């Protein structure tokens, strides 16, 4: 087996390894939410930006892989390395993420999952997140309009693909920030699946290794610049995951946020100031029932009251 064949085999292994890890990475969070029957500890910004980013990632990879027009324009733009460094596993990873992240978004509506949630989830995305989403959608629409209605500008269909690529990158940058800040304010990583981080950082490493191998097998290294999404996506993800690993294992951990506790039903809420025990609406209802029960006079209690000396 030649050196090139060895490199291609390693690239193939890395590609499917990162596919498995990144595909599996989107499962722990919805499973954790389902087990806790709550999305508390997870910001709404994260899955919202994830859905947009995953959709753009899937579409851009699919176009680079299957569209003859896009592939021909890519070859003209990068003549030294005319083959896009995109693989079928890239499309599969993106499609899987769109489905699972959409499920996480739906979990912010407990009634859909028949969760008996006593606390309404925070479905308010941050102003920055809403601004990023609006700006990204507007940028894509503008790019498509220029390509279709103003061909004299020199913009081509592949520029729409790159617009999708950069939208994905922007969503990656901004999706991690609100949650890192939320962990900092809560002094806890409770509700955030650390298994997601483990799988995500592993997938990022394998993705980066595959890209470097594929680019090295071409006449020059334009395969890296020709696929900025895969390059920067892996780099940003690994960096952000390092922050979450530090927060979880060194700084905070999955402890109850300050001033909060978990009751015997697994619900989270504000702790009682003296005892440090959380009183949820279920506990309050049980206490009310006890009070009402003790206030009802039974025949035995009436006889005891009558027998007592005045």
Lowest mean pLDDT among 184-198, 203-217, 272-286: 272-286
How does the average pLDDT of the chain come out, rounded?
81
Would you state the pLDDT for residue 302?
Answer: 52
pLDDT digits (tens, 9 = 90+) for 119-130: 667 788 889 899
Most confident of 76-90, 94-108, 282-296: 94-108
List the one residue out of 97, 94, 122, 101 whose CA is nearest residue 38. Answer: 122
Q: What is the three-state SS of 113-159?
A: HCCCCCCCCCCCCCHHHHHHHHHHHHHHHHHHHHHHHCHHHCCCHHH
Q: Are 218 and 40 in contact (CB under 8 A)?
A: no
**Residue 184 C-alpha from the chain's centroid:** 18
Residue that has been written with the tokens 């390894």 in this structure: 17
Three-class secondary structure assignment of 65-124: HHCHHHHHHHHHHCCCCCCCCCCHHHHHHHHHHHHHHHHHHHCCCHHHHCCCCCCCCCCC
pLDDT recorded at residue 289: 47
Predicted TM-score (pTM) of this structure: 0.71
Question: Left (φ > 0), alpha (ψ -120 to 50) or beta: where does 295 sit?
Answer: alpha
Per-residue pLDDT of 248-299, as tens digits, reads 999 987 676 655 444 433 444 444 444 343 443 334 444 444 444 444 444 5
User: Which residue has better confidence, 90 or 52?
Assistant: 52
Are 172 and 53 in contact by the 8 Å Cβ rule? The answer is: yes
Euclidean distance between CA atoms 250 and 244, whole angstroms: 10
**pLDDT score, position 267:** 44
> What angle (nearest 5°) sits at the alpha carbon of residue 37, between those of residues 30 and 249?
60
The CA–CA distances, whole Å, from 254 to 128, 187, 202, 250 equal 27, 9, 21, 11
Q: Among 69-78, 95-104, 194-203, 276-285, whose mean pLDDT is lowest?
A: 276-285
Residue-wise pLDDT for 138-180, tens only, equals 999 999 999 999 888 889 999 999 999 899 988 988 888 888 8
pLDDT for the residue numbered 283: 42
Task: Check residue 277 and give its pLDDT.
Answer: 39
pLDDT at position 144 = 95
Q: Out of 113-122, 197-206, 283-292, give the one with best mean pLDDT.
A: 197-206
Looking at residue 173, what is its pLDDT? Answer: 84
């Amino acid at each position: 087996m030649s050196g090139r064949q060895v490199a291609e085999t390693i690239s193939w292994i890395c590609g499917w390894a990162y596919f498995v890890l990144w595909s599996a990475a989107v499962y722990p969070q919805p499973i954790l939410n389902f087990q806790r029957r709550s999305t508390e500890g997870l910001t709404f910004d994260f899955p919202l930006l994830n859905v947009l980013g995953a959709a753009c990632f899937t579409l851009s990879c699919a176009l680079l892989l299957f569209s003859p027009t896009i592939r021909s324009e890519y070859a003209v733009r990068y003549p030294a390395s005319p083959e896009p460094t995109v693989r079928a596993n890239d499309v599969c990873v993106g499609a899987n993420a769109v489905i699972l992240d959409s499920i996480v978004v739906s979990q912010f509506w407990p009634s859909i999952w028949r969760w008996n949630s006593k606390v309404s989830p925070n479905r308010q995305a941050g102003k920055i997140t809403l601004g990023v989403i609006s700006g990204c959608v507007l940028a894509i629409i503008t790019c498509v309009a220029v390509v279709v209605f103003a061909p004299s500008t020199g913009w081509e269909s592949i520029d729409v693909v790159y617009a999708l690529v950069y939208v994905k990158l922007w969503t990656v940058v901004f999706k991690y920030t609100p949650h890192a800040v939320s962990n900092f304010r809560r002094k806890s990583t409770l509700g955030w699946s650390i298994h997601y981080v483990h799988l995500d950082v592993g997938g990022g490493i394998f993705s980066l290794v595959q890209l470097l191998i594929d680019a090295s097998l071409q006449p020059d290294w334009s395969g890296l610049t020709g696929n900025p999404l895969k390059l920067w996506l892996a780099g940003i993800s690994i960096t952000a995951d390092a922050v979450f690993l530090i927060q979880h294992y060194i700084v905070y951990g999955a402890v109850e946020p300050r001033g909060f506790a978990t009751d015997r039903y697994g619900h989270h809420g504000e702790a009682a100031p003296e005892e440090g025990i959380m009183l949820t609406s279920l506990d309050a209802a049980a206490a009310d029932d006890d009070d009402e029960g003790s206030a009802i006079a039974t025949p035995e209690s009436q006889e005891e009251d009558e027998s007592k000396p005045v």
